[in-house]
Amino acid sequence: MTIVVTGGAGFIGSNFVLDWLGALAEPVVVVDKLTYAGNLGNIAEFADDPRLRFEHCDICDGAAMARVFAAHAPRAVVHFAAETHVDRSIDDAGAFLRTNVEGTFRLLDAALGYWRGLSPVAASEFRFLHVSTDEVYGTLGPDGAPFTETHPHRPNSPYSATKAAADHLVRAWFQTYGLPVLTTNCSNNYGPRQFPEKLIPLMILNALAGKALPLYGDGCNVRDWIYVADHCAGVRRVLETGDPGEVYNLGGGQEKTNIAVVRAVCARLDEVRPRPDGKTYADQLVFVKDRPGHDRRYAIDVSKAERTLDWKPAHTFEAGIATTVDWYLANGAWVASVKTGAYRNWIARQYAGIEP
């Protein structure tokens, strides 16, 4: 028995793989294209473990995906692979359409062909788990009820639109072909190994480098935050006990404004790595022009997962932030390895002329 994990060298995918191999004997096949955000160093801990197998390929290559299924005969697919950074989707929506929509289609198509060739027992046990985002639901007002699994898809960015399209494809492959699929919609993840274009690691590294900590608009956009290990535990529970065709929201129950998140990062850095001048890192905060289509608030209702899966997040935001900041401080070699020329060029272009 084995499972296939797409995007298993990325942020959430690698944390899932590490957690899986740390707790279970079942082998994992990591499928990853190794784009700028994919890094084999993320799973190097198990590089010599025979349970870890790696396939360097693109989910948009249907023939390659069919070969992966034929070679490894998985009992399940956990589909993390995606372009995920909203700012990049505004800059280049085409890459998001290709990976998130076409890639999900090609993967579903390959999975369907494989599933149809399984024995009746194996076919009944097979699962295709699609990992999505709360951003597909759109935006909420300050007093709006959290998103449930039945909330309509109303995406507002190119990224969320492509993830919404992928959600619909997955649902259609269940309704039309009977492929046993599961979908999870998670809130904002944070934790170790997150590529430093995202808010929390960007703030950590900019703070340490004495650079500006740029916040869009007034900094009061609200997100629900989930520590990545809690998300991975939720995905495992969905894979184990979720009902085919169902959607499950996975969130941390920790709504925070962006400015509160950044201040929490600064407070932890003040505690464990104080500035030489004795000032707070929060002095480096700078407000910048808001990005287009910036959703004001996300919040998701996780009562279905708690009720039907016996799952709930284990980490408070405060504990998760402390662990995350400490991980980046302790893993300077990893940070240096991901800050390539392409990364530096993106940061320079995206935040040009911003000073603390």
* The pair of three-digit structure tokens given for residue 36, joined into one six-digit string: 């700028």
Distance CA 248, CA 243 (A): 10
**E-assigned strand segments in 7-121:** 28-32, 52-56, 76-79
* The pair of three-digit structure tokens given for residue 141, joined into one six-digit string: 């007002």
Is 134 one of the catalytic residues?
Answer: yes
In angstroms, how far is CA 157 from the centroid of its own chain? 16
Do 46 and 16 form a contact (C-beta atoms < 8 A)?
no
CA angle centred on 248, ends 180 and 150, rounded to 5° = 100
For 116, the 3-state DSSP assignment is helix
What stretch of H or E contains 114?
A: helix 104-116
Q: Which of 114, 137, 159, 248 is catalytic?
A: 159
The strand pairing partners of 297, in sequence order, are: 222
Which residue reads 């960007």 in tokens?
Answer: 202
* The pair of three-digit structure tokens given for residue 219, joined into one six-digit string: 């900094």
Q: Which of 83, 135, 167, 224 is catalytic?
A: 135
Distance CA 99, CA 17 (A): 21
Q: 354: which DSSP letter?
A: -
Distance CA 127, CA 114 (A): 12
CA angle centred on 113, ends 109 and 119, rounded to 5° = 145
Do 49 and 83 form a contact (C-beta atoms < 8 A)?
no
Residues listed for the chain: 356
Q: Following DSSP, what letter does each residue of 285-317 receive, concatenated?
A: EEEEPPPTT--SB--B--HHHHHHH-------H
Q: Following DSSP, what letter does each residue of 163-205 receive, concatenated?
A: HHHHHHHHHHHHHHH---EEEEEE-EEESTT--TTSHHHHHHH
Is 306 one of the catalytic residues?
Answer: no
Q: Which of 32, 58, 83, 134 is catalytic?
A: 134
Residues with catalytic function: 134-135, 159
